[in-house]
Structure 1
């Protein structure tokens, strides 16, 4: 009995001495199942895992001590290790590599920077980083630069206009297959930046352009209570992220893009020991991209939900009456492109999609109106930033699409109409517009 106890003690000591005792490893160490790294405050854990099927093993990051396990990042998501004994190593140059049982390379971080004293560390943000030296804050490589299907606090979705590449979320293929799926969650920068979720190259739904606080279609009242969003937009690139307003209370929060293309934002409740869904998209039919076609507005509280904008009529009336709104709406009367045109103000709106828009963030709203009037193709204008009373100019041309009534606040947009749509306001508006010239 005594010999058996000594034997078990030796096994126990050998096993736990081999396992890393901190959130870091160096080139002299490696990681193999069931060994894990744990962030310093015990929030995240990293290691190898599988789904109990024949696909193989993955190296990933998950929330520690939360069941069921939530995987937030996978290194070798497209190439699982078929061996039962894969190993994660940090090379002396600062590269992370996953090797199979025979020593073949399954995955590599392919860092372009060379380290002198490389250290890999799992941070309490869920970011797995490689840095040069234990105390260094200079990251040579970080998992946050290679997002999967999860958007964590502190992470940035970004695009570098000069050097690239673009960072965005991609869904898993299935709940037990982390390989890249068909859906993407990204910032579209072809016009004024807007957040879109795509199915391949097709926009599935959008939460609209950035308005200074949030994306135009997001529920402002709910999100502003516990999250602070950041958006940087320069001539060099775009960067979007968020932080929790009280990190000591809301230490676990994430946005997930699921294999069906929907996004869900979660907060962990310590009291209930469960995840609360505080925001999801799409929530209704109006959120699907251009549900009502062009030159229309979608309002989920109306029956039917689609309505042509003032001055427009359904392009295909019979289809419209049968709730096929894909053809959208066309003008009853063409614009005159002179002093007779005017603008109708719509309030409480999620702005239309902006991939073909023009913007100038230095102009006032009055200057924006004047600029739109001078271009016969300009059909709508709005502030690009609604903070502090509004600033900046955002212009739309020709048809506009994906405009809806906002679920709580929304903002203003001004739609261009011909003289015939002025009604009793015509005389005063005509005088005001002539005064601009």
Structure 2
């Protein structure tokens, strides 16, 4: 009798997996078919095949158990649906979890690269909704939480894992019936103080504001009572993972195909999902809706308004409820005009309450009392805020994505011109001692009297900018630039014809020097892209007020480049000098600088060999003009790839003449006690003894030629064992008879082998140790243009095998010059 019962039980187990097997797991010997599912131990989730409402395709996924309508939280084969009903989910021979169709074709795999054993692997569905592939000892080999779909579940972690190295996000479905990746993603932006973002094709659509350790500053959401909030894990290796806790686990965030994030909790009484506030929600439903310096308000009929002290940039667009163009200042900041010591017109800080802080926050170590002063003392600081968790927060230039009346918002102080402030209740001014104010006022009176005297003396000068032009000429007269060039300008027409731009015109053209218009930055300051009212695009080079360089370099560049006209030199359009503001205005070069293409990973393929060869020729033609063909003899002294700009046809133009020197007709060499330039491009006689000549520029040209050929920076280490500099490497290849091996492999073409070898040869001739051995630039052009010219054998380049930081420092120890690297 007992034997009969055991046999009956065994037979029943054989035909009923649901009774005898663990319902939450599958193994190598126990796969699941199209009609079967796994159920987590607590019964919250199911795993198996499913179809969407309007599609007959079969997908493998995880969904909430016993919830109608079916709510899928994870999909395996989102891009490769199965069209038949014979699919199988199993453990493969290599131990991976895989999905196959009726023909045995693999449609998806967990794809664990480490060697696994089939019999030792098991896939288990957890009560959290996480599908885990486990090894023989229960260790986790793979888990679905690391590959999220469109749903953020409790216990799941989004963000950057230092081991994985990727930023984990959830991604919307393409449509309600198509789980393939759509246009929207949601995740964490791994900044110092991270924020949650919704992206539309990598462009921001919505953001929370920065994390303050407990919540996101600027979030409007009112968490449910049982919702315990977010947790953020961070370390010094780049780990930044965000998760949240929820007691019932019947809760999730879902990113819909239209880009809206829903917060959903299961209502047992109504047997339906109840939703929290949608993100983003109307009316401030998109990132930067009101543009720069515009505030979006949830409690107003018209959501967008300008910060006080600002007006719409385009009133017509604003009247049509298109607010993207944003706002501009009614009046320029007094700090921007350079007279920030004038206590009468000092800029003030206007307080805005309960604000979602704008993008691009910077953090300072200043305490609460010092935070205001840090911003006040920096004319580039547009706004500041302080709270106990984040400390001192600063913003520079434009403010974007402002919202008010935020539940977790903070007080934000925005810099405005004093005349734009409405009342003392809306301002937060910097306190200035009365004694200092009186002293400054007296200085202001004295300057006013002096200005009247100067104006009377030069009243006959024409032009609406004559006061600025007068300041310009006074600076020129006192500048050391005049001493450098001697009497060369005494009989030359001064710079009367050089256009002077008003500060406000350039501020408007560059959107108040917005960060989005920043083209680059050097020792001089920042260069911005701008657009004049008539539509002309310009580049504005703005002197940084705390720059070690400045007035002398600016005046030098104006005097030099205003007298030069050549297709391979950047054209100077004018300048601006108002108060302490000093700016140069150039023609805009749409293709940026040469280093962007040579050393930028994404741009290298745009420079084929023919283009590179043409660029080398163009640089040489520009240098010949500087050295021999212009009215002046100019030594550039800071020639490098970042100072070679490219126009729309990829023609090179030499720029940045701030360090240029002008030679007399009978002068071939000069000496300076102030060596300024860029390490790697400076000739040895200039770096160590302060001697410069045409051959100094030729040395720099040789380095540039070798960089263009190789596509590598001059400081690149080509051989870690020998710590090689570019010149070392080129010299070694030349001696080994393998000069063409220096060529960038991405553009190497055997048909150009002779040109490449010739360019390497010329480059090595230009970087020879002794200046007399180097060819002049006109000779270089002849060498490039004819294969019939026999070139001399190059001698050992300068600095070979000794270009390292320690020996560079030794140059200063033995030199009488003051070396300043850039």
TM-score class normalised by the smaller sequence: 0.7 to 0.9
Distance 1:300 1:54 in 2: 40
Please give the secondary structure, in 2, of the residue aligned with 1:369.
helix
Q: Does 1:405 align with 2:404?
A: yes
Count of matched residue pairs: 414
Alignment-derived partner of residue 189 in structure 1: 190
Distance 2:54 2:302 in 1: 47
Alignment-derived partner of residue 379 in structure 2: 376
For residue 295 of structure 1, report the CA deviation from its aligned partner. 0.3
For residue 252 of structure 1, report the CA deviation from its aligned partner. 0.3
Please give the secondary structure, in 2, of the residue aligned with 1:366.
helix
Label 1:273 to 1:71 Cα distance change in 2 as closer, same or farther (>3 A). Answer: same
Label 1:114 to 1:58 Cα distance change in 2 as closer, same or farther (>3 A). Answer: same
Alignment-derived partner of residue 34 in structure 1: 35
Q: Does 1:171 align with 2:172?
A: yes
Q: Deviations over 1:97-152 (max 9, x none)?
A: 11111111111111233445322111100000112236x3x421110111100010
Q: Does 1:124 align with 2:123?
A: no
Label 1:281 to 1:166 Cα distance change in 2 as closer, same or farther (>3 A). Answer: same
Please give the secondary structure, in 2, of the residue aligned with 1:399.
coil
Alignment map for 1:104-183 (pairs within 5 Å): 104-115=105-116, 117-133=120-136, 136=138, 138-160=139-161, 164-183=165-184
Distance 1:357 1:427 in 2: 20
Please give the secondary structure, in 2, of the residue aligned with 1:197.
strand
Distance 2:193 2:390 in 1: 14
Of residues 350, 357, 363, the one that matches 1:359 is: 363
Alignment-derived partner of residue 351 in structure 2: 345
Please give the secondary structure, in 2, of the residue aligned with 1:241.
strand
Distance 2:142 2:195 in 1: 28
Q: Deviations over 1:274-320 (max 9, x none)?
A: 21112311221213111111101111212322111122111122332
Contact 1:364 1:391 in 2 (8 A): no
Q: Deviations over 1:182-207 (max 9, x none)?
A: 11112223674222212212222222
Q: Does 1:417 align with 2:420?
A: no
Label 1:220 to 1:260 Cα distance change in 2 as closer, same or farther (>3 A). Answer: closer
The range that moved more, 198-207 or 29-38, is 198-207
Alignment-derived partner of residue 274 in structure 1: 272
Higher helix share: 2
For residue 333 of structure 1, report the CA deviation from its aligned partner. 2.2
Could you tell me which runs of 5 or more consecutive residues in structure 1 were left unpaired when the two chains were aligned.
1-8
Alignment-derived partner of residue 237 in structure 1: 239
The range that moved more, 163-172 or 254-263, is 163-172
Label 1:351 to 1:145 Cα distance change in 2 as closer, same or farther (>3 A). Answer: same
Contact 2:219 2:408 in 1 (8 A): no
- Please say which structure displays the higher CA radius of gyration: 2
Distance 2:411 2:433 in 1: 20
Alignment-derived partner of residue 260 in structure 1: 258
For residue 263 of structure 1, report the CA deviation from its aligned partner. 0.9
Please give the secondary structure, in 2, of the residue aligned with 1:400.
coil
Alignment map for 1:216-231 (pairs within 5 Å): 216-219=217-220, 221-223=222-224, 226-231=227-232
The range that moved more, 88-97 or 123-132, is 88-97
Label 1:72 to 1:121 Cα distance change in 2 as closer, same or farther (>3 A). Answer: same
TM-score, length of structure 1 as denominator length: 0.86
Contact 2:348 2:428 in 1 (8 A): no
Please give the secondary structure, in 1, of the residue aligned with 2:430.
helix
Contact 2:31 2:90 in 1 (8 A): yes
Please give the secondary structure, in 2, of the residue aligned with 1:320.
helix
Please give the secondary structure, in 2, of the residue aligned with 1:395.
strand
Could you tell me which runs of 5 or more consecutive residues in structure 2 were left unpaired when the two chains were aligned.
1-8, 438-822
Distance 1:211 1:378 in 2: 22
The range that moved more, 408-417 or 71-80, is 408-417
Please give the secondary structure, in 2, of the residue aligned with 1:370.
helix
Higher strand share: 1
Please give the secondary structure, in 1, of the residue aligned with 2:284.
helix
Greater relative contact order (CA < 8 Å, ≥ 6 in sequence): 1
Please give the secondary structure, in 1, of the residue aligned with 2:28.
coil
Contact 2:413 2:428 in 1 (8 A): no
Alignment map for 1:18-57 (pairs within 5 Å): 20-51=21-52, 56-57=57-58
Alignment-derived partner of residue 3 in structure 1: none
Distance 1:52 1:275 in 2: 18
Contact 1:286 1:298 in 2 (8 A): yes
The range that moved more, 273-282 or 172-181, is 273-282
Please give the secondary structure, in 1, of the residue aligned with 2:432.
helix
Alignment-derived partner of residue 308 in structure 1: 306
Label 1:225 to 1:128 Cα distance change in 2 as closer, same or farther (>3 A). Answer: closer
Distance 1:106 1:427 in 2: 63
Please give the secondary structure, in 2, of the residue aligned with 1:112.
coil
Label 1:407 to 1:224 Cα distance change in 2 as closer, same or farther (>3 A). Answer: farther
TM-score, length of structure 2 as denominator length: 0.47
Contact 1:347 1:410 in 2 (8 A): yes
Please give the secondary structure, in 2, of the residue aligned with 1:144.
helix
Distance 1:31 1:42 in 2: 18
Contact 1:351 1:413 in 2 (8 A): yes
Contact 1:115 1:131 in 2 (8 A): no
Please give the secondary structure, in 1, of the residue aligned with 2:240.
strand
Q: Deviations over 1:236-255 (max 9, x none)?
A: 132111101xx2xx230001
Distance 1:63 1:427 in 2: 54
Distance 2:428 2:106 in 1: 76
Contact 1:192 1:359 in 2 (8 A): no
Please give the secondary structure, in 2, of the residue aligned with 1:22.
coil
Distance 1:285 1:14 in 2: 60
Distance 1:241 1:313 in 2: 41
Alignment-derived partner of residue 5 in structure 1: none
Alignment-derived partner of residue 6 in structure 1: none
For residue 430 of structure 1, report the CA deviation from its aligned partner. 3.0
Alignment-derived partner of residue 62 in structure 1: 63
Q: Deviations over 1:386-415 (max 9, x none)?
A: 5xx444233222111111113534222221
Distance 1:369 1:429 in 2: 8
